[in-house]
Amino acid sequence: MSDKPLSIELLALKAAFDRACKMAGGGVRMAAALGVSEPTITRWKRDNHPDAIPAELFCKIDAAAGYPCMLEAIAAMAGYLIRRDEIQHADMPLCSLAGQAAVDAGKFVFAVTTADADDVITRRELACIEAEGRSAVADITRGMEAARGKCFGASGVKLAAAE
């Protein structure tokens, strides 16, 4: 491993890949979907390891996750926002979605505090802040959709008693 710090872009992609692995059901399932070893998946997710996720796998990663995690990260770094016409609740358990939102909110805070340490925020740092912020917001949105799905069910008929 290198002592050189990883770029904020690579860290954002590693964070997106970690989310994708969780949404796919874990590293074992992601490894099978991509045709790579589990240790490779672990290296790609680790913030302190310089191995980058090959760009040619991004579409397969997003397909395995059932959500455009990699596309969302790349778009955010370029200043774009992915908008889905129809958002459905995720298959991840609600508590897992809440935990992922907390992790991503922490990464957003880290991106902000790191970028603002010198009282100057560059365009590159802003892109990372926006990518992490959008990821956290997307996690919260998925969590709200999952909660809505639990409350109303797939048919839209309210299942829980009103309070």
d(CA 130, CA 9): 11
> In this predicted structure, what is the pLDDT of residue 53?
94
Give the residue with greater pLDDT, 7 vs 86. Answer: 7
Is residue 155 in a domain? no
161 part of a folded domain = no
The answer to whether residue 159 is domain-embedded is no
pLDDT value at residue 154: 55
With respect to residue 160, please indicate whether it lies within any of the assigned structural domains.
no
**Is the residue at 49 inside a domain?**
yes
57-116 pLDDT, tens per residue? Answer: 999 999 998 888 899 889 888 877 776 544 444 566 788 878 888 888 888 898 899 888
- Would 3 be classed as within a structural domain? no
User: What domain range includes position 111?
Assistant: 8-149
162 belongs to a structural domain: no
pLDDT of res. 100? 80
What's the length of the chain?
163
Q: How far apart are CA 62 and CA 60, in angstroms?
A: 5
Q: In whole angstroms, give the CA distance from residue 83 to residue 75.
A: 11
Mean pLDDT of the chain: 81
Q: For the chain, what is the domain count?
A: 1
Contact call for residues 143 and 97 (beta carbons, < 8 A): yes
- What percent of the chain lies above the pLDDT cut of 90? 23
Residue with more model confidence, 125 or 38: 38
Has residue 156 been placed in a domain?
A: no
